[in-house]
């Protein structure tokens, strides 16, 4: 059975949120009167907030991470996220996939609250059958592999029916953990280098090429 369920990562795959995220990280450090130990630049976008903050502050102190995370969320949720834009060609991709009968889902490291706000901002709320985030459940899910597994189980989607699309090595690893084919979005923040790609993974240079790959898989 060819895949009919397309599960997408969000940041770096469907949306370019780097400017908004980086501005909110900078605002968080400024609000807390701290200086990051490494530069706040696009290559930090993608992992969960706490993981990124541990990297930026050079400490795993829960109180410190919590303080910075609260400052980040305030900046981001109160307007910063509205700087988010869809990558060129993504609106057309989503429309084409839905027209062909594909069922679309999101599995993202982004928190569920801003994810929903961004989907509303872009007019995408009705495009996706399921939208999963690490903090969608209590307790939160440990990683993206577990999140994808939970989505597949909840929706009763077999691995042969689905494919995962993301922009980072961790996305490919999470797909592999669930037996899913993986397509890397080369336009994202942390796209896997060609030499690092697992042989069975595929890479799309543009959303148009991704659309051709996905639609070919459904014919």
- Residue 32 per-residue DSSP state: T
How many DSSP H helices and E strands does the chain contain?
8, 8
Strand order in the sheet with 130-133: 130-133, 103-108, 5-8, 162-166, 182-185, 202-204
Measured CA to CA, the distance from residue 3 to residue 102 in angstroms comes to: 8
- Residues annotated as part of the active site: 9
What is the DSSP pairing of strand 162-166 with strand 5-8?
parallel
Closest alpha carbon to 15 in 122, 99, 112: 122
């Amino acid at each position: 059975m060819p895949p009919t369920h397309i599960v997408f990562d969000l940041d770096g795959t469907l949306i370019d949120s780097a400017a908004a995220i980086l501005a909110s990280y900078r605002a968080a450090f400024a609000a807390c009167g701290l200086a990051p130990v490494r530069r706040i630049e696009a290559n930090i976008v993608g992992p969960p907030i706490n993981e990124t903050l541990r990297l930026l502050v050079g400490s795993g102190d829960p109180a410190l991470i919590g303080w910075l995370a609260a400052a980040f969320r305030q900046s981001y949720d109160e307007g910063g996220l509205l700087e988010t834009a869809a990558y060129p060609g993504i609106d057309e991709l989503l429309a084409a996939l839905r027209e062909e009968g594909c069922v679309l889902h999101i599995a993202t490291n982004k928190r569920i609250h801003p994810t929903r706000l961004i989907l509303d901002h872009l007019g995408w709320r009705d495009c996706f059958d399921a939208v999963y985030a690490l903090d969608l459940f209590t307790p939160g899910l440990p990683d993206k592999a577990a999140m994808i597994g939970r989505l597949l189980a909840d929706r009763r989607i077999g691995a042969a029916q689905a494919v995962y699309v993301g922009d980072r090595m961790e996305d490919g690893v999470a797909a592999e953990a669930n037996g899913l084919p993986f397509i890397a979005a080369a336009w994202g923040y942390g796209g896997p280098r060609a030499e690092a790609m697992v042989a069975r993974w595929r890479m799309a240079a543009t959303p148009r090429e991704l659309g051709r790959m996905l639609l070919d898989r459904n014919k």
